[in-house]
Amino acid sequence: MSTATATKILTDRINRIEVSATMAITAEALRLKATGIKLADFGAGEPHFETPQNIKDAAIEAIQKGFTRYTAVAGTPDVRKAIVARHAADFGTDYTVDECVFSTGGKLALFNAIQVLVDHGDEVVLPVPYWVSYKDIIQYAGGVVKYVESREEENFRVTAAMIERAMTEKTKAIILCSPSNPSGAVMEQSDVEAIVRLAHARGVYVLLDECYAYLNFAGSPVSGASVTECKEHVVVLGSLSKTYAMTGWRAGFALGPKVVISAISKLQSQSTSNAASMVQKASIAAVTGSQACVAEMKADYIRLRDRILEGFKTIPGLTCTVPQGAFYVYPNVSAFLGKGGAKTTTELAAKLLNEAHVVVVPGEAFGTAEHIRLSYAVSAEVIDEGVARMGRYLKQLSAASS
Ligand SMILES: Cc1ncc(COP(=O)(O)O)c(C=O)c1O
């Protein structure tokens, strides 16, 4: 079937989005793995830890006790109570159960929030580099993305003045992600608060993606939602995936004004309905149980970050900001572009995969042309082996073209 015919079959909205830019790399990595090649895989954005035992036990108990039926679409009152209590204890927020919806993953909570807030032609302000999915989710809703470039030399800092310059009368929302996927940058809390206040004053919504909030190495976790007087225009998008090593469970939530949360629940009622009942029980255990596992994993991520950054120092030409959160490094590879045939980071990532057997994600997926993203949520051995392979390959590239 020709592309033209296929285009007619499908809706405009599905044609406005692309499959994830990382799919091609992932598919090729899987193909190589299947042939028995051992890859150093820095591609996947997920913890390498097991889900803590108390969380698994809660799900098993739920199943054994027959807690396997539909629940309220927005999640049981118990899971929502547990989520709002955790957020209140950590960030001083005062959400009620009606201001919380539990969803099948943080990505769905974000997708639904954008679908209920963003109409055709509405503008959404998005700092660069950005997490891959925002752009497509906004475009699926018919929205227009207004990019705000940040500077690597300033640790990808995003200020209220930068956001304000991108705002017009069509601005409906601003998305902030701190700690950032892909750069690991952590926003200054004063910058987040200034943006929240600016948005509130203009009647614009701030979507706070708190997926990595608990993986903040700069200190205690922080939230822009702590500015409670602006809560009318703040929507928190949370995920248990990274905090508790629960990526496969699909557990996320949104906190926000009742009108927005009710609309998200309505949309959820016509699509996924409730998140899996036993996952809700497991999530209660996660957020109400001991948080020592979170601190332990964070301490490990800091060690792994330091290890990979030390490794990078042995690769001439590779420079990297020091990430203050999440589990990604975002090195600048401009010194190697144009050498050995790779002009873009997408081409360089393909070469690193095929020739050095190292999986990285090209910066083009996140809106920048000179970086690659590596997830260091892997073992120390993978870091050592992967960095050594990268180093050998990049040095070889530099030598061949000099
Ligand atoms: C920045 C960011 N937000 C949201 C998500 C969604 O997480 P999940 O759908 O697993 O809860 C991810 C996952 O990679 C992410 O990196």
pLDDT tens-digit map of 349-365? 999 999 999 999 999 99
Residue 255 and residue 137 in one domain: yes
State the CB neighbour count (10 A cutoff) for residue 380. 13
pLDDT of residue 45: 87
Residue 57 and residue 117 in one domain: yes
Spacing, Cα 9 to ligand 1 middle (Å): 31
- For range 227-237, the mean pLDDT: 97
CATH of the domain at 25: 3.90.1150.10
Residue 272 and residue 329 in one domain: no
The C-alpha atoms of residue 56 and residue 61 are separated, in whole angstroms, by 9
| Protein residue with least CA distance to atom 3, ligand 1 | 211
Burial class of 178 by CB neighbour count within 10 A (0 to 12, 13 to 18, 19+): buried
Say which residue the tokens 């200020």 belong to. Answer: 159
* Contacts of 276 by beta carbon, 8 Å cutoff, 6+ apart: 104, 249, 250
Residue 7 has pLDDT above 70, yes or no: no
pLDDT greater at residue 296 or residue 3: 296
pLDDT of residue 3: 54
pLDDT of residue 8: 83
Residue 142 and residue 224 in one domain: yes
291 within ligand 1 shell (Cβ under 6 A): no
Band (25; pLDDT cuts 50, 70, 90)? confident
Domain holding 182, by residue range, is 53-288
Mean pLDDT of the chain: 95
Residue 299 and residue 272 in one domain: no
Residue 4 has pLDDT above 60, yes or no: no
Residue 161 and residue 28 in one domain: no
Residue 153 and residue 258 in one domain: yes
Would you say how long the chain is, in residues? 402
Spacing, Cα 400 to ligand 1 middle (Å): 39
215 within ligand 1 shell (Cβ under 6 A): no
Total number of domains in the chain? 2
Residue 155 and residue 12 in one domain: no
pLDDT of residue 263: 98
Band (218; pLDDT cuts 50, 70, 90)? confident
Residue 252 has pLDDT above 60, yes or no: yes
pTM: 0.95
Q: Which of 288, 308, 337 is the last residue of a domain?
A: 288
Residue 225 has pLDDT above 90, yes or no: yes
Q: Which of 265, 288, 311 is the last residue of a domain?
A: 288
pLDDT tens-digit map of 290-340? 999 999 999 999 999 999 999 999 999 999 999 999 999 999 999 999 887
Closest CA to 55 of 300, 291, 248, 284: 284
CB 242 within 8 A of CB 47: yes
* Contacts of 212 by beta carbon, 8 Å cutoff, 6+ apart: 177, 178, 179, 180, 181, 242, 325, 326, 327
Q: Tokens representing 371?
A: 């970086």
Residue 20 has pLDDT above 80, yes or no: no
Residue 311 and residue 235 in one domain: no
Residue 308 and residue 344 in one domain: yes
Q: Tokens representing 208?
A: 């706070």
- For range 30-41, the mean pLDDT: 94
Residue 135 and residue 87 in one domain: yes
